[in-house]
Amino acid sequence: MVSLLLAVVLGSVTSASLKTDYAEAYRESVAQDKPLMVVVGAPWCPACNVLKQTTLEPMAQTGELDEVSVAVLDRDANPELVKQLTKGERMLPQIIMFTRTGGGEWKRHQLKGYQTQQPVRNLIRSAVSLGRG
């Protein structure tokens, strides 16, 4: 029981490092010329929760997500926006990276399902270099 309570308390503390406001993350992406990383999940999705706890939150704490603007979206709370961003793909979780190229167009890359830190690092590295190219 104590470990469950501790997990809930720690989860609520560390989750604060990831933004849930898409509009804010988008504005930051444009203003700071950063790629926009959108993480789509749901509170009831075990893989989504593990992705946040074991991949995204540790990466946020070490500064590995500083080169991108991050928005974490709940599919159930934002169904229309999520449908548009995922192009109707319903698999959870999803990480969608939008990168603005030198010509001003947005390129889209996507990871589906649970991801460890290394694929997310590779996605960020690729997006940052595409944005500079």
pLDDT at 132: 67
Strands (E), 1-133: 36-41, 69-74, 94-100, 106-112
Q: Which of 122, 125, 126, 120 is nearest to 56 (CA)?
A: 120
Q: Which of 10-19, 28-37, 56-65, 82-91 has the lowest mean pLDDT?
A: 10-19
N residues, the chain: 133
| Spatial separation of the C-alpha atoms in residues 133 and 27, rounded to whole Å | 21
Please write the tens of the pLDDT for every residue from 4-31: 433 443 443 334 457 789 999 999 999 9
Please write the tens of the pLDDT for every residue from 99-126: 988 788 899 999 999 999 999 999 999 9
Pairing outcome for strands 106-112 and 69-74: unpaired
Model's pTM, two decimal places?
A: 0.83
